[in-house]
C-alpha cells in the first residue's frame, strides 16, 4: 500500500520554529519529524511514499532524496497553491496505483496501522478513518459512528450542547482511489468538510478505527514540547527507538560533562555537546548536537536544537530553542520559544509566552 503524507502547510502556529524550516523537518528527539513518521510507516510494511509538499519543499527533498537512505521510495508532488487536504491528494492522483493511505504530516501516534489496513479490506470500505477519543471534542471535527464502526455523521467543532460523540478525526485514512472522483481538480477541497460528507451522501461505506493508542499533533509550541515529554517519560513510543528508563541519561558521541555538573534524566544529549562545570540539566530534556551549556547554567524540561549555546548562569525552563540560537549569561527563559539563530542578551528575563523570531534579538 502506498502512503500519501500531507506536508504542504506553512506551520504558522509553530513559528518561529518553522520560520526557516517546513514543519515535517523540525526535530523530534534530534531527528526530523518526517524521518520518525517514515520509520513508523516502514514498521507497518509501507515503503512507498508520495509526499505532498508546498512550503520550503527543497529542504525536504535535499534531506531525503529518493528515499533510499531511509529504505523507502519517495515521490514528490509540490503544490503551486494551497489545495487543502483532499485537493492535495487529487493533485497527485496520477501517482496512485490502488488502495492507499493518507497521513497528515503533523500527527504523532503509535496506532496499529497494520490492523487498520486489514479492517479496511475486510469491511470492503471505500474509506476508513482513524478516530481518537478526547475529553473535549468541541475544538475538533466530531465523527459519529454505529456500534460496528460505520461512520454516520460529521460535525465540525460542535457546541457543547450539540456533542453526541467524543471521537474526532485523527488525521489518518485508508482510501480507495475511486473516492477521488468526488474531488474537483485544481480546487481547494478538504476531506473533513468536502469529500467525507459527500461519500456519506452517496451511500459509500465509510468505517472507523478507534483503538486505544497515543495520539498528538505537532501543531503548536506547547504540543511540540508536550510530545517530547511524552516520549521521554514513556507515554509515547518511537518506532525503532528503545524507551528511556525514568532516570536515564542517553549520551551521543563525545559528550563532555564538567566537574560538579549534574544531569538528571530522562535526558537525551546529541553528539559533541559540552555541559560545563556546575551546570544543571534536568529531564525531560532533549539536547541537540554541538550544544553548549555554560558554567552554572540550568536547563529543565526543554528542547534545544543543534548548535544552541546557553550562557554562564542562565536558566532555561519549559522552552524550545531552535538551531544556533544563543542565550546570554544569566538570562532567564521560562515557557518561551526562540527561533533559529536568535540571540538573547545577557541578563534578559523573558516572561512566559514570549517568542523571539528567527535571527532576532531580545
All residue ranges of the chain with pLDDT < 70 are 158, 162, 362
Residue 202 burial (10 A CB sphere; 0-12, 13-18, 19+)? exposed
Rounded Cα–Cα distance for residues 259 and 1 (Å):
53
**249-356, what's its fold?**
UDP N-Acetylglucosamine Acyltransferase; domain 1 (2.160.10)
* Cβ contacts of 9-15, under 8 Å, gap ≥ 24: 9/54, 9/55, 9/105, 9/106, 10/54, 10/55, 11/55, 11/106, 13/219, 13/220, 14/218, 14/219, 14/220, 14/221, 14/224, 15/339, 15/355, 15/357
pLDDT reported for residue 359:
80
Residue whose grid cell is 517530547: 228
Alpha helices for 65-177 (secondary structure H): 84-91, 113-123
Q: Is 272 left (phi over 0), alpha (psi -120 to 50) or beta?
A: left
Q: For 23-37, what is each residue's pLDDT tens digit?
A: 999 999 999 999 999
Residue whose grid cell is 509550541: 221
pLDDT reported for residue 246:
84
Q: Phi first, then psi: what are they for 36, rounded to 5°?
A: -65, -40
pLDDT reported for residue 360:
77
pLDDT reported for residue 180:
96
How close are the terminal C-alpha atoms of the chain, in Å? Answer: 49
Give the residue extent of every domain in the chain: 2-232, 249-356
pLDDT reported for residue 267:
96
pLDDT reported for residue 158:
65
pLDDT reported for residue 343:
95
pLDDT reported for residue 197:
93
Rounded Cα–Cα distance for residues 185 and 205 (Å):
23
CB within 8 Å of 360: residues ≥ 6 apart = 16, 339, 342, 343
What's the residue count for the chain?
362
Residue 111 burial (10 A CB sphere; 0-12, 13-18, 19+)? buried
Helical axes 57-64 vs 33-43, angle rounded to 10°: 50
**CATH architecture classification, 2-232:** Alpha-Beta Complex (3.90)
The answer to whether 49 touches 2, Cβ cutoff 8 Å, is yes
C-alpha cell at 137: 471534542
Q: For 85-99, what is each residue's pLDDT tens digit?
A: 999 999 999 999 999
The answer to whether 281 touches 299, Cβ cutoff 8 Å, is yes
Amino acid at each position: 500500500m502506498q502512503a500519501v503524507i500531507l506536508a504542504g502547510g506553512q506551520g504558522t502556529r509553530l513559528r518561529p520554529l518553522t520560520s526557516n524550516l517546513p514543519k515535517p523537518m523540525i526535530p523530534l528527539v534530534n531527528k526530523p519529524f518526517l524521518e520518525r513518521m517514515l520509520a513508523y510507516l516502514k514498521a507497518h510494511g509501507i515503503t512507498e511514499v508520495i509526499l505532498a509538499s508546498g512550503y520550503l519543499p527543497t529542504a525536504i527533498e535535499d534531506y531525503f532524496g529518493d528515499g533510499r537512505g531511509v529504505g523507502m521510495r519517495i515521490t514528490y508532488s509540490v503544490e503551486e497553491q494551497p489545495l487543502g487536504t483532499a485537493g492535495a491528494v487529487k493533485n497527485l492522483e496520477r501517482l496512485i496505483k490502488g488502495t492507499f493511505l493518507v497521513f497528515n504530516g503533523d500527527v504523532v501516534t503509535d496506532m496499529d496501522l497494520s490492523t487498520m489496513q486489514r479492517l479496511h479490506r475486510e469491511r470492503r470500505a471505500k474509506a476508513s478513518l482513524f478516530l481518537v477519543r478526547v475529553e473535549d471534542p468541541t475544538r475538533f471535527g466530531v465523527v459519529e459512528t454505529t456500534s460496528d464502526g460505520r461512520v454516520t455523521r460529521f460535525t465540525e467543532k460542535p457546541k457543547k450542547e450539540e456533542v453526541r460523540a467524543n471521537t474526532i478525526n485523527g488525521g489518518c485514512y485508508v482510501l480507495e482511489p475511486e473516492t477521488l472522483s468526488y474531488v474537483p481538480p485544481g480546487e481547494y477541497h478538504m476531506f473533513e468538510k468536502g469529500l467525507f460528507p459527500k461519500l456519506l451522501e452517496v451511500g459509500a461505506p465509510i468505517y472507523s478505527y478507534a483503538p486505544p493508542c497515543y495520539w498528538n499533533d505537532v501543531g503548536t509550541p506547547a504540543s511540540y514540547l508536550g510530545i517530547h515529554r511524552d516520549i521521554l517519560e514513556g507515554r509515547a513510543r518511537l518506532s525503532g527507538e528503545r524507551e528511556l528508563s525514568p532516570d536515564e541519561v542517553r549520551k551521543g558521541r563525545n559528550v563532555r560533562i564538567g566537574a560538579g555538573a549534574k544531569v538528571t534524566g530522562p535526558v537525551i544529549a546529541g553528539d559533541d555537546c559540552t555541559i560545563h562545570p556546575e551546570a544543571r540539566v534536568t529531564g525531560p530534556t532533549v539536547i541537540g548536537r554541538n550544544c553548549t551549556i555554560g558554567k552554572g547554567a540550568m536547563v529543565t524540561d526543554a528542547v534545544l536544537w543543534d548548535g544552541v549555546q546557553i550562557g554562564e548562569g542562565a536558566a532555561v525552563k519549559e522552552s524550545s530553542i531552535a538551531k544556533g540560537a544563543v542565550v546570554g549569561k544569566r538570562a532567564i527563559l521560562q515557557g518561551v520559544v526562540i527561533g533559529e539563530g536568535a540571540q538573547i542578551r545577557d541578563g534578559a528575563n523573558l516572561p512566559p509566552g514570549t517568542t523571539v523570531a528567527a535571527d532576532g534579538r531580545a
